[in-house]
Structure 1
Amino acid sequence: MTKKAFRIIGGIIILFNLWLIGHYQLTGIMILLLTFGVALLFEFVLVKQFASDSLGAQQKVSGGLIKYFGLQQWYETVFDDEQKHRLEERFGTVSGNKLASGAINSKSLDVDVLQFFYDLEQKLKPKVYSDVLQLVDERYKLEAGKFCRIDEDRWNNEKYYKVWFTFMNYRVKALNRLKSDNYFTQGQLDPIDDNYITQPCLDIKNKHFNIINGDLDRAFSKHFSEPIKGCRCSVRGYRKR
């Protein structure tokens, strides 16, 4: 159980004890025991001794980013020992995390699996890594294909194409947060209006979509059905007054 969960339970017990104090008109030492006593018990005994810190739990994941992203079977079967050595040596560390060994500090790790593969490919650009780069690229393509059908020609020849996928998990999470939060009623897709913006993103600029009736969902699916050159659109919600 986490520290937060212990503290919530302790708060509930204290609220109940306050009702007991008022109902039975308790005084003196009983008030202290039922309030400060419970608080001290939870904070310095239960929380300190038994609660799991979220960061500590994350750091128990050992095996590097490969294990963190659930790629162990792929890694073990696709690469030989020599390739693994070169790959791990070239990768080094990201936010204190190694590629295939050591504990993971996921609290400081602000990337998803697609961003991970894109960044890994950038490290493998030198020709000496061409063999492992090809194997990494095949897996990156497989993961990216979960969002849309991959255009092989664009994947291999269009510089921006692969970058587009690195934003998709963040976009999907933002959309899901808006749909699950009853506060927001309207949403929009916000492009970055600079020299790289193209017409599809300009067409959707400043357009508002209803979240409740599914308009934002449909606009999202249409706009992000395939990579658009220069698209760095984000998803934003607001409450219509």
Structure 2
Amino acid sequence: MTAKIAAAAGEVAGPGVEIAAVCPDDGPAAIESHVDEARAAVAVVELVERDVRAGGSDAYVVACFGDPGLDAARELVDVPVIGIAEAAMHLAAISGRSFAIVTTLSRTLGRAQDLLARYGMTDACVWMSGTGIPVLDLEEATGEAFETIARHCREAVAQGADAVVLGCAGMTDLCHRLADRVGVPVVDGVSAAVGLAAAMVRAGVGTSKRDEYAAPPRRPVPVP
């Protein structure tokens, strides 16, 4: 799945942009619960810190729809740090007046609602649905899995959505096929985030260090 995400990122990155797609050594194999997300956030912080020690990157994309560790990662660097849910919602809101979210398990819809509120997108989102497909089953989302996702996308359009946001990075390779099937823009967060990150770098816009995203205080770790 990491390789699939890298391929999607490379398609929109543009000339001169190098994509380094990395997966944590530790943490959950998939993020399908609040416990998974908490563990993934720690892994995101560790990956960014490791990259900074190695010289750093011009921008970072958190390729999970829950945007785990996003705020913490922003504290660590002054370059753009973008979550795919945040990017996809903003792009969909530009693409049409309304959008829907089609994601994996229904238990993740609460987190999606939280992010809609955080990003000021609650009014723009007219429908959400969980397909019941586990994240790891999306590594090869063909046949029945694709048809299930397409059916949910069609229902989203029937509910008044001008665009559909795919609520999992594992769906990134389905975007164009789904758009052809349902007749409205289908937004993949990986592509949206990479495109936005590249644009921010070119424009010289990074992460503000004024207050909340200033570097975290360094305190000694207590010895047990």
Q: TM-score band (shorter)? A: under 0.3
Q: Which has the higher contact order (CA 8 A, sep 6+)?
A: 2
Query: Greater share of helix residues, 1 or 2?
Result: 1
Pick the structure with greater CA Rg.
Answer: 1
TM-score by length of 1: 0.21
